[in-house]
């Protein structure tokens, strides 16, 4: 770790460092940090352990980069970052590091959230009332942020009692979107709003049934990609091109690719049957 910090300091050296590294600031690094985080997620999705190691190193380097910029400005350094997160973990796990009795997973989550709520209240300014929605980052992907906002609201009682009520809400929002699409002339701003409401309801449903919406969509994307590539292969075997095929032909090839995909998944899951 000391060697890595020394390398980072050398990269930022005004005389002997790298011009690109010296030019960076907190804001300019944000896109790179997000990209590195997604590359970590991609390596995990592929279960590529060597890539995971490399990508986690790249992500760690982002933290080191921010720490060096802050150290130069006299704000904080890597040691204070590490100490801060250490103190936070100890504070939020009294059942591990304190004299609190052991907790179930659910009780642990409730205690964790209660401690976080106390921390948010302490950070709130005197003239601003703390909100259950404080500190949900705007930069989060929309699906993730939606789930966090709705989870926070649910902790103070703003939640549907049963999942089937959320399904009814999804149907309601879908109906309102259909109505907006039938307007003549179309009001694109209204359609935009109703689609947002529908997506919000879908994320709420995923939360209530214990499914991560972002992960479910990533899995859905992967499935669609597999099957569309299968569609392309089927057309190629027949000497056809997707651009020249009618929709009915594309749909038939997609359904054929879907059947092959499902069969392959069955064989992978049940290799001895």
For residue 175, the SS3 value is: helix
> 252 and 200 in one domain?
no
Q: For all residues of the chain together, what is the average pLDDT? A: 90
Is residue 248, in this structure, part of any structural domain at all? Answer: yes
Q: What is the DSSP-derived secondary structure letter of residue 137?
A: -
> 99 and 61 in one domain?
no
The tens digit of pLDDT for each residue in 232-243 reads 999 999 999 999
Q: CB neighbours (10 Å) of residue 208? A: 19
> 178 and 161 in one domain?
yes
What HEC string does 18-29 produce? CHHHHHCCHHHH
> 241 and 265 in one domain?
yes
Is residue 131, in this structure, part of any structural domain at all? Answer: no
> 15 and 56 in one domain?
yes
Per the structure, the count of domains in the chain is: 4
Q: Are 24 and 80 in contact (CB under 8 A)?
A: no
The tens digit of pLDDT for each residue in 76-86 reads 999 999 999 99
| Of 107, 193, 207, 85, the residue nearest 150 (C-alpha) | 207
CA 229, CA 205: separation in Å to the nearest integer? 30
Distances, alpha carbon 27 to alpha carbons 65, 66, 78, 80, 142, in Å: 12, 10, 18, 20, 20
> 76 and 17 in one domain?
yes
Is residue 66, in this structure, part of any structural domain at all? Answer: yes
CA 203, CA 160: separation in Å to the nearest integer? 13
User: Of 159, 187, 210, at which residue does a domain stop?
Assistant: 210
Is residue 135, in this structure, part of any structural domain at all? Answer: no
Count of residues in the chain: 273
> 241 and 188 in one domain?
no
Domain that holds residue 230: 214-269
Q: Comparing 45-59, 110-124, 148-162, 249-263, which segment has the lowest mean pLDDT?
A: 110-124
Is residue 133, in this structure, part of any structural domain at all? Answer: no
Residues of the chain above pLDDT 70, percent: 89
The tens digit of pLDDT for each residue in 174-233 reads 999 999 999 999 999 999 999 999 999 999 999 999 999 988 998 999 999 999 999 999
CA 139, CA 257: separation in Å to the nearest integer? 37
Query: Dihedral of CA 77/79/81/87: which sign?
Result: negative
We report the CATH number of the domain holding residue 85 as: 1.10.287.1080
């Amino acid at each position: 770790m000391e060697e890595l910090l020394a390398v980072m300091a050398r990269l930022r050296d005004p005389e002997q460092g790298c011009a690109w590294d010296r030019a960076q600031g907190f804001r300019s690094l944000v896109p790179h940090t997000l990209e590195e985080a997604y590359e970590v997620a991609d390596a995990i999705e592929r279960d590529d352990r060597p890539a995971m190691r490399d990508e986690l190193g790249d992500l760690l380097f982002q933290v080191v980069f921010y720490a060096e910029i802050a150290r130069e400005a006299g704000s904080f350094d890597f040691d204070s970052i590490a100490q801060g997160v250490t103190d936070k973990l100890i504070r939020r796990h009294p059942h591990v590091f304190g004299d609190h009795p052991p907790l179930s997973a659910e009780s642990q989550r409730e205690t964790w959230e209660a401690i976080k709520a106390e921390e948010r209240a302490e950070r709130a300014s005197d003239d601003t009332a703390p909100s259950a929605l404080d500190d949900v980052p705007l930069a989060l992907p929309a699906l993730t942020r939606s789930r966090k906002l709705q989870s926070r609201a649910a902790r103070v009682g703003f939640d549907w009692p049963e999942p089937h009520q959320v399904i009814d809400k999804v149907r309601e929002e879908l109906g309102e979107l259909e109505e907006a699409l039938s307007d003549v002339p179309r009001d694109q701003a209204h359609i935009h709003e109703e689609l947002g409401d529908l997506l919000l309801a879908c994320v709420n449903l995923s939360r209530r049934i214990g499914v991560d919406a972002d992960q479910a969509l990533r899995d859905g994307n992967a499935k669609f990609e597999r099957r569309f590539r299968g569609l392309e292969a089927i057309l190629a075997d027949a000497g056809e091109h997707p651009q020249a095929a009618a929709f009915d032909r594309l749909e038939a090839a997609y359904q054929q690719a879907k059947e092959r995909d499902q069969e392959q998944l069955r064989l992978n899951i049940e290799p001895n049957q």
